[in-house]
Chain A
Amino acid sequence: MSARFVRLAEGERPTVRLMVDGEPIEALQGDTLMVALLTRVSALRQSEFDPGRRAGFCLMGACQDCWVWTRSGERLRACSNEVREGLDIVTRQPEAIWPLRG
């Protein structure tokens, strides 16, 4: 899968390493999770209602189309959370052992 987002400026930031679906990736400090992912691949997640892939929509925390999870099950909006060193993200909802609500 090719990247969806294209970086146009601000490429001089330090790199941050994190895990996505068990693979190590590098991003730039200050990247949102969405940018960290979509500058590498073309989608964030699988739609629950059709065969389509999804890559977010509003980027301002309003549509909720960009959910990803920490390995322990905490749900994050990829558009409004920044990368952190060592973060361990999964793009499928982990087996819900915690009381999840959406």
Chain B
Amino acid sequence: MATARLKNLQKDALRVVIVGAGPAGTRCAETLVAAGIRPILLDENRRDGGQIYRRQPEGFTRDYATLYGSEAEKARALHQSFDRLRERIDYRPDTLVWSLTPGQLCCVSQGKHTTVDYDALILCTGATDRLMPIEGWQLAGTYSLGGAQIALKAQAVSIGRRVVFLGSGPLLYLVASQYLKAGATVAAVLDTSPLRKRIAALPKLLARPGLLFTGMKLLAQLYLARIPVHLGVEPQQVLGDAASGVSAVRVRTSHGDNLQFDCDALALGYHLRPETQLADLAGCRMRFQEVSQQWVLDTDGEGRTSVRGVYAAGDGARIRGADAAEHAGRLVALALLQDLQQPVHGEALALQRRVLAVMDEFSHGLCQAFPWPAAQAKALADEAIVCRCEMITAGELRSVVREKGACEVNRAKAFSRVGMGRCQGRYCSQAGAEVIAAAAGVAVERVGRQRGQAPVKPLSMLTEELKQAEEVAP
């Protein structure tokens, strides 16, 4: 959809579609509504809020402070803004966008397939956990770190009786302290990032002193509660058996000691990766972000992708966190309005850009302080599972590189099936790329990235017929 076409459309005839009702999508919708546009807002979830400000189900009674801690006021403000918008936008929850062609989205809602036409598309699709395998991570009881948080936030349960937190990133300390506060037993917090990385990142982290302070407070809470916290660990193995799952986690400390923590659950995660599949299907250009060592969307400073009429904001474009997502949502809406030749206050644009520059600096600091542990992929034992969907090992992946010369991720995927399973590469493709790069002896950006494929999530092809059959069945 060329901008030229956008300009010719009347505001009320213009079909603006936002995918994702998290902080980015909500603020984007709000800004468009203020300019007289009624966007369509699609989200796979039943309720608005996105990841961080996920709402608990009806009938749950915990208050904002309990649920969102230091972010309670932001959560309340976002939910209230959304509630005010409800009547002024075309909000369609429970709607997965599973593919797209230029000008049209393919959706599925409660088993029914629908299409939604668009003139302008704004992708606010957020992020998922970024994972690096550890030997034994396929055992039942290993959850993604974000998943461990969802269990608590959305369902008021702990993922186990004794939980180990392993990985790196701010979320590691946040979720561990949320578990502690909720009365769960935290067996240990094991961070692969050494202290010196954090010290080196301090100048950048000081871009947002408030957040830095919150982070230090979390750490202090864990120490005060006498939770074992180790920095700079090397993950060794998740122990357990096929029938009952996780029974312990073993790491090597920075002093070279082997430590083992008994537990029945492991929360594992290394910060986040953007959900870029839809943008990829739309043909939007991606770029390798040096500081985070991953592929992100190549947008201009305001959220325009390389494809005209397709915009992106929030963690789905690149990982900058929830506050930045709100600002990026507002900014991308202003960018669209500009492209539509609508009056936009230069000051409003400049303000959002200024705020985002500070948040960029901070997010780079986080990447430095809690680096992606690429070296682990190289050190991974041949028997370790890389693809937990189909149980494909690091050794099998290495052998397609060595024997078939498959040094590009999509080729290696075709031979090894890593990235072809149920998760469609969300949890294995980045680590897989590192394993391939290490085996081929090249830099990870040289092995490429896994292409997005439709459907972006597996579809159950059963539709209404089945529901009817279920109703008439005795």
- A interface with B by C-beta (< 8 Å): 1, 4-10, 12-14, 29-32, 35, 38-39, 42-43, 47, 49-65, 67, 70-75, 79-80, 82, 98-102
Cβ of B156 within 8 Å of any chain A Cβ, yes or no, is: yes
The verdict on A60 contacting B146 (CB below 8 Å), with A4-B160, A49-B391 known, is yes
Contacts of B151 in A (CB 8 A): 5, 35, 59
| Interface pick from B98-106, B137-145, B313-321 | B137-145
Contacts of A54 in B (CB 8 A): 140
Cβ–Cβ contact B427 & A4, under 8 A:
no
Cβ–Cβ contact B60 & A53, under 8 A:
no
Cβ of B201 within 8 Å of any chain A Cβ, yes or no, is: no
Tell me which of B111, B265, B388, B391 contacts A74 (CB under 8 A): B111
Cβ–Cβ contact A57 & B466, under 8 A:
no
Tell me which of A52, A61, A75 contacts B138 (CB under 8 A): A52
Cβ–Cβ contact B138 & A50, under 8 A:
yes
Cβ of B48 within 8 Å of any chain A Cβ, yes or no, is: no
Q: List 15 A-B contacts (CB under 8 A).
A: A4-B141, A5-B160, A10-B62, A10-B155, A12-B61, A57-B142, A57-B143, A58-B129, A60-B51, A63-B144, A65-B389, A72-B469, A75-B460, A80-B45, A101-B460
| Interface pick from B9-17, B112-120, B237-245, B353-361 | B237-245
Contacts of A12 in B (CB 8 A): 61
Tell me which of B60, B264, B470 contacts A10 (CB under 8 A): B60
Q: How far is the CA of A99 from the CA of B459 in the complex (A)?
A: 12
- How far is the CB of B263 from the nearest CB of chain A, in Å? 12
Q: How far is the CA of A9 from the CA of B388 in the complex (A)?
A: 31
Tell me which of A42, A57, A64, A82 contacts B57 (CB under 8 A): A82
Q: Is the interface of A mostly helix, strand, loop or mixed?
A: loop
Cβ–Cβ contact B427 & A63, under 8 A:
yes
List 16 additional contacts besides A38-B157, A55-B245, A72-B469; criterion CB under 8 Å. Answer: A4-B245, A5-B158, A6-B158, A8-B158, A9-B183, A30-B56, A32-B154, A42-B141, A50-B138, A53-B244, A57-B143, A59-B147, A60-B51, A67-B422, A99-B461, A100-B462
Cβ of B226 within 8 Å of any chain A Cβ, yes or no, is: no
Q: How far is the CA of A34 from the CA of B111 in the complex (A)?
A: 20
Cβ–Cβ contact A42 & B158, under 8 A:
no
Q: How far is the CA of A61 from the CA of B459 in the complex (A)?
A: 12
Q: How far is the CA of A98 from the CA of B460 in the complex (A)?
A: 10
Q: How far is the CA of A6 from the CA of B45 in the complex (A)?
A: 24
- How far is the CB of B211 from the nearest CB of chain A, in Å? 24
Q: Which size class do B's interface residues fall under?
A: 35 or more
Cβ of B333 within 8 Å of any chain A Cβ, yes or no, is: no
Cβ of B58 within 8 Å of any chain A Cβ, yes or no, is: yes
Q: In chain B between 452 and 474, which residues have their CB closer than 8 angstroms to a CB of chain A?
A: 457-462, 466-467, 469-470, 473
Cβ–Cβ contact A4 & B470, under 8 A:
no
Q: How far is the CA of A8 from the CA of B45 in the complex (A)?
A: 24
Contacts of B441 in A (CB 8 A): none
Contacts of B156 in A (CB 8 A): 7-10
The verdict on A102 contacting B422 (CB below 8 Å), with A47-B391, A58-B128 known, is yes
- B interface with A by C-beta (< 8 Å): 44-45, 51, 56-62, 111, 128-129, 138-144, 146-148, 150-152, 154-161, 182-184, 242-245, 264-265, 388-391, 422-423, 426-427, 457-462, 466-467, 469-470, 473
The verdict on A70 contacting B470 (CB below 8 Å), with A30-B59, A53-B243 known, is yes
Cβ–Cβ contact B182 & A42, under 8 A:
no
Residue of A nearest to B463 (CB): A74
Q: How far is the CA of A82 from the CA of B45 in the complex (A)?
A: 12
Cβ–Cβ contact B460 & A100, under 8 A:
yes
Cβ–Cβ contact A60 & B128, under 8 A:
yes
Q: How far is the CA of A79 from the CA of B147 in the complex (A)?
A: 10
Cβ–Cβ contact B143 & A61, under 8 A:
no
Cβ–Cβ contact A55 & B158, under 8 A:
no
Contacts of B146 in A (CB 8 A): 58-60
Tell me which of A7, A32, A53 contacts B242 (CB under 8 A): A53
Cβ–Cβ contact B470 & A72, under 8 A:
yes
Tell me which of B59, B159, B467 contacts A29 (CB under 8 A): B59
Cβ–Cβ contact A6 & B140, under 8 A:
no
The verdict on A62 contacting B426 (CB below 8 Å), with A10-B156, A30-B59 known, is yes
Contacts of A51 in B (CB 8 A): 242-243
Cβ–Cβ contact A8 & B152, under 8 A:
yes
- How far is the CB of A101 from the nearest CB of chain B, in Å? 5
